[in-house]
Amino acid sequence: MHSSSSGLHLNLDDAWRNEPFALPVVDARNWGPQLRFSAPPRLIAEFYREHEARLPSFLLFGSGDFHHLTALWIQRLTQPVILVSFDNHPDWDVRPPKWGCGSWVNRVLELPHVRRVSVWGCGNFECWWPHQVFGNRRAERAGLLEVHPWADGHPPKDQQRRGAILRDNWRGHFEQFVKDLGGMSVYVTIDLDCLRPEEAVTNWESGRFAIVDLEWALTKLHESLRIVGGDICGAYSSPHYARFKQRFAAEFDHPKLQLPALELIRTINSAALARLWPLLAQ
């Protein structure tokens, strides 16, 4: 991997235009429809072979529909590492497809150098009964995977769920998490759908973090740990698919969203990136 200050915009889907940093851009839009939402292992391997050599430590890429590519970015690391993910979804589904934006955490857990995966800010239904039966509960019970879903508004019994966080206590939990890592190296991935809808526009349901929350969390990580790589994805882009089954599954799974005008979407997301990227890739 290159120096930790290096960064790249891998353009898969035109999710980012005129990003506020002079990042070099690799045009990978020919891959976008093939990889979006899910892809067969053969295509994933072919894409990785084509782009592996030019990928730096920090990456900006497309919609959260491509979040499974984070499993490739972290694959390049050699030292033991903890993956810290800020995401509105746990992305821990054990059902097929093997390579999909809702199941990629399991690919990361297969890597020998990844010691643990910790996901913060899940606000959707997947961490709660009955939907959690499709998640990788085995890894959670083994302590290899932590999910930290928002429990505000849930019954007191739910608030006792392992890893559950509340608006008024999550920072204390995060500080303890950082302390317990004892100086380990971390890789940080940020899906913008973990943010409130007024601060990021995505292809998925919005989360509950404010940008100031992520700024605080990234600062805490830098204070005690070494961020050896990271990525940001999740900006809205118009979906295009290469295969019928892929399109069918994606359209079934995505929420129906009321979106602002495209220029406003880009303005909102660029403002979020301008605040988060310097803290991630400092």
SS (H, E, C) 52-120: HHHCCCEEECCCHHHHHHHHHHHHCCCCCEEEEEECCCCCCECCCCCCECCCHHHHHHCCCCEEEEEEE
- pLDDT at residue 1, as a whole number: 34
Alpha carbon distance 193, 62 (integer Å)? 12
Quick: pLDDT tens for 157-184: 888 888 999 999 999 999 999 999 988 9
Q: Roughly what angle, to the nearest 10 degrees, separates helices 262-280 and 211-224? A: 20
Sequence-distant (6+) residues with CB within 8 A of 59 are: 7, 8, 9, 10, 73, 230, 231, 232
Q: pLDDT-based confidence at 127, cuts 50/70/90?
A: confident
- What separation in angstroms does the CA of 232 have from each of 43, 58, 73, 122, 279? 22, 8, 12, 16, 11
E strand residue ranges, 223-281: 226-233
- pLDDT at residue 257, as a whole number: 87
Give the angle subtended at the CA of 95 by the CAs of 68 and 203, to the nearest 5°: 45
- pLDDT at residue 3, as a whole number: 35
Check whether the bond before 130 is cis (ω within 30° of 0). Answer: yes
- pLDDT at residue 19, as a whole number: 72
**Per-residue pLDDT for 4 more than 70?**
no
Structure tokens at 8: 């790249």
Q: pLDDT-based confidence at 83, cuts 50/70/90?
A: very high
Structure tokens at 103: 């199941």
Give mean pLDDT, residues 141-169.
91
Sequence-distant (6+) residues with CB within 8 A of 213 are: 170, 171
Quick: pLDDT tens for 199-257: 999 999 999 999 999 999 999 999 999 999 999 999 999 999 999 998 999 998 899 88
Strand 114-122 and strand 145-149: the pairing is parallel
- pLDDT at residue 2, as a whole number: 36
Q: Is 25 helix (H, G, I), strand (E, B) or coil?
A: strand
Alpha carbon distance 15, 236 (integer Å)? 6
Quick: pLDDT tens for 12-71: 999 998 776 789 999 999 999 999 999 999 999 999 999 999 899 999 999 999 999 999
Give the angle subtended at the CA of 225 by the CAs of 6 and 149, to the nearest 5°: 100
Strand 226-233 and strand 58-60: the pairing is parallel
Q: Is 218 helix (H, G, I), strand (E, B) or coil?
A: helix
**Per-residue pLDDT for 111 more than 90?**
yes
Sheet holding 114-122, edge to edge: 25-27, 7-11, 58-60, 226-233, 185-191, 81-86, 114-122, 145-149
- pLDDT at residue 129, as a whole number: 67
Give mean pLDDT, residues 130-138.
83
Alpha carbon distance 256, 233 (integer Å)? 20
Alpha carbon distance 119, 225 (integer Å)? 17
**Per-residue pLDDT for 100 more than 90?**
yes
